[in-house]
Amino acid sequence: MTSRRPCPPAPGPLEDYAAEFDGLFRSLAQRRGFRDYLQGLLLPRDRNKTLTGLAGAEPITGAQHREVQRLQWFLSESAWNHEQVNEQRVQLLCQDPATAPSERGVLVIDDTGDRKDGTATAHVARQYLGSVGKIDNGIVAVTSLWADERCYWPAHAVPYTPAARLAKGKRDPEFRTKPQLAVELIQAAQQAGIGFRAVVADCFYGDNPGFTDTLLAAGVPFVLALKPHKGTWAPADQAHTPTEAAAELGWHGPSRPGQWRRIIRRFRDGHTEAWWAGDAQLGGWGPNRRLRLVVATTDPARLPGHSSWYLLTNLSRPASRRAQQADLAEVVRLYGLRNWVEQGYKQVKTELGWADFQVRSDRAIRRHWTLVTCAFSFCWQAWFADHPAQPAAPDPPAVPTAARGAEATRHRGRTGRQELLARGPTGGAGLADPLDRAATLLAIVVAGAPAPAAPTAA
């Protein structure tokens, strides 16, 4: 048997990471394309991560450059399996103690959309795009992300195809709603051996009965948000919305909280916030029912919209009063981890070029997304290689929040604004090497990593 031709190595620690995937690429051109594509994604952003940008060629006029065409072939035409690459990426994350999923983490389900012109690109249509907050022409991906207090990383992603793109619309056998795609992603995570305490998602999924019924039938634990004014059937003298159910918990002030229980949330910058949580009764949901409605807020009297959560969960309620308080804190902790999917979107989009692709086929789009998640995962691997002393998280961990600025989401004592600069001069003429101990690449990713654990129980 002919031995494999050696591949030009990628710079710095990227070579060791890329070598883990070499068995999935049959030719030297594929192995080289994988390294070059990742290196281009990881370069500091001064332009969009299009193929010309990844190859360092001129926009538009450089599209026919040899290096651009080589990456184009690797992404669109070359025979390699993006699903196998993603499986290998997830397996590496699961095998590394620094990033391995634990039973205290969550699987976050979400979807994200980005503008794309025209209709020739697969899955592109006029639809709601979360990134712009309105209906526009673009592409939407349903994603899953694993997260705990140590780290967070994307697990799987699939494009959503609007009914208008299919021959028979919603009756087409190929049509899948976003909740249906989300169920498939949960099953894929389970098959990949990704352990989690619960599935968490926002109100788009929590308000979908088909999604919750499927998870119930499969025995999957979940904590899902509900819209504050989601109506349900109930007798006239009972609550009909989550906000009305919260009002019946008997709040008369901190000294007379009724059924509310005080919990403490701790944040990265060291400050703490007192929240209140309680088990509410709404229709068929209740403390001792199969489904519970947990309300959490900073102010039970006013229930401010920006800091009030209405959570549907199938996690059973403990019997004792003290255990109930700890259980409410755990439910709030689990849903608080959902915010890391938003942080992850910022990083893969702002720094790694998730939406910068200029290809049209379904396969090429999925390949691009897979390579972006590989670049993201490499950043975590390189960060933990430079910071091996990662303390284990005691119970219970602190809960991050989306309402934190850049200062509040920074690792204390790990990375600061000054570390965004390169650590030394380049090794020669040409582009600066961003892979020198991965400092420049990793600072933005890890600046929003989770908070340290709380030293005592709530």
Report how far residue 84's alpha carbon sits from residue 374's, in angstroms, rounded to the nearest whole number: 12
Q: Return the pLDDT at 362.
A: 96
CA dist 27 to 3, 23, 33, 54, 126, Å? Answer: 11, 10, 10, 21, 39
112 neighbors 70 (Cβ within 8 angstroms) = no
51 neighbors 358 (Cβ within 8 angstroms) = yes
92 in helix, strand or coil? Answer: helix
449 in helix, strand or coil? Answer: coil
186 neighbors 107 (Cβ within 8 angstroms) = yes
Q: Return the pLDDT at 307.
A: 94
What is the chain's Cα-based Rg?
Answer: 24
Torsions phi, psi for 307 (to 5 deg): -140, 40
Q: Return the pLDDT at 61.
A: 84
AA identity, residue 129: L
CA dist 361 to 88, 120, 175, 364, 367, Å? Answer: 23, 9, 18, 5, 10
Q: Is 417 exposed, middle or buried (0-12, 13-18, 19+ CB in 10 A)?
A: exposed
Q: Which of 1, 40, 38, 22 is nearest to 80 (CA)?
A: 22
146 neighbors 344 (Cβ within 8 angstroms) = no
Beta bridge partners of 113: 140
Tokens of 89: 């990426």
Cis peptide preceding 396, ω within 30 of 0: yes
* pTM higher than 0.75: yes
Full pLDDT tens readout for the chain, 458 residues: 467 788 889 988 999 999 999 999 999 999 999 999 999 999 988 889 999 999 988 888 888 899 999 999 999 999 999 999 999 999 999 999 999 999 899 999 999 999 999 889 999 999 999 888 899 999 999 999 999 988 999 999 999 999 999 999 999 999 999 999 999 999 999 999 999 999 999 999 999 999 999 999 999 999 999 999 887 777 777 888 999 999 999 999 999 999 999 999 877 667 888 999 999 999 889 998 999 999 999 999 999 999 999 999 999 998 887 788 789 999 999 999 999 999 999 999 989 999 999 999 999 999 999 999 999 999 999 988 887 754 444 443 333 333 333 333 333 333 333 332 223 333 333 333 333 334 444 444 444 444 444 333 33
145 neighbors 155 (Cβ within 8 angstroms) = yes
Q: Return the pLDDT at 433.
A: 36
Report how far residue 103's alpha carbon sits from residue 394's, in angstroms, rounded to the nearest whole number: 13
No. of helices (H) and no. of strands (E), the chain: 13, 10
Q: Return the pLDDT at 123.
A: 96
Q: Return the pLDDT at 210.
A: 95
- Structural domain boundaries in the chain: 1-80
Q: Return the pLDDT at 62.
A: 86
Report how far residue 214's alpha carbon sits from residue 212's, in angstroms, rounded to the nearest whole number: 5
Report how far residue 303's alpha carbon sits from residue 295's, in angstroms, rounded to the nearest whole number: 10
Q: What is the 3 state secondary structure string of 109-164?
A: EEEEEEECCCCCCCCCEEEEECCCCEEEEEEEEEEEEEECCCCEEEEEEEEECCHH
205 neighbors 179 (Cβ within 8 angstroms) = yes
Strands 134-147 and 152-160: antiparallel
Max intra-chain CA distance, the chain: 80
